[in-house]
Structure 1
Amino acid sequence: MHLTNANLADMPTRERAALVNSLSGFKSANLVGTADDDGHCNLAIMSSVVHLGSNPPLLALIIRPGGEERHTLHNLLRSGEYSINHVHADMVEAAHQTAARYPKEISEFSATGLTPCWWDGCSAPLVAEAHIKLAMALREHQQLAINGTHLIIGEVMQAEIPEHCQNEDGSLDLAAAGTVALTGLDSYHQADPFKRMAYAKPDLPPRTLP
Structure 2
Amino acid sequence: MKLNAENIAAMASRERAAFVNSLSGFKAANLVGTADSQGHTNLAIMSSAVHLGSHPPLLALVIRPGGDERHTLKNILDTQCYSINHVNAEIVEAAHQCAARYPAEVSEFDATGLTPLWEPGFEAPMVAEAQVSMVLRLREHMPLAINSTHMVIGEVVFVALPDAACRDDGTLDLVAAGTVALSGLDAYHRVDAPKRMAYAKPDLPPRRL
Range that drifts further, 5-14 or 160-169: 160-169
Corresponding residue for 1:91?
Answer: 91
Q: Aligned residue pairs: how many?
A: 209
Matched ranges for 1:43-192 at <5 A: 43-192=43-192
Q: CA deviation at 1:17?
A: 0.2
SS of the residue corresponding to residue 131 of structure 1 reads: coil
Q: CA deviation at 1:168?
A: 1.4
Q: Tell me which residue corresponds to 1:35.
A: 35
CA–CA distance in 2 between the matches of 1:141 and 1:66? 14
Deviations, residues 18-75 of structure 1 (Å, cap 9, x unaligned) = 0000000000000000001111000000000010000000000000000000000000
Q: Which amino acid aligns with 2:127?
A: V
How far residue 166 of structure 1 moved from its aligned partner, in angstroms, is: 1.1
**Secondary structure, aligned partner of 2:157:** strand
Segments ≥4 residues shifted beyond 6 Å: none
- Percent sequence identity over matched residues? 67
Structure 1: where are the runs of 5+ without partners?
Answer: none
Q: CA RMSD in A?
A: 0.5
SS at match of 2:199: coil
Give distance in 2, aligned partners of 1:145 and 1:102: 27
TM-score, scaled to structure 2: 0.99
- Residues of 2 paired with 1:164 and 1:8: CA distance? 44
Shift of 1:131: 0.5
Distance 1:133 1:118 in 2: 11
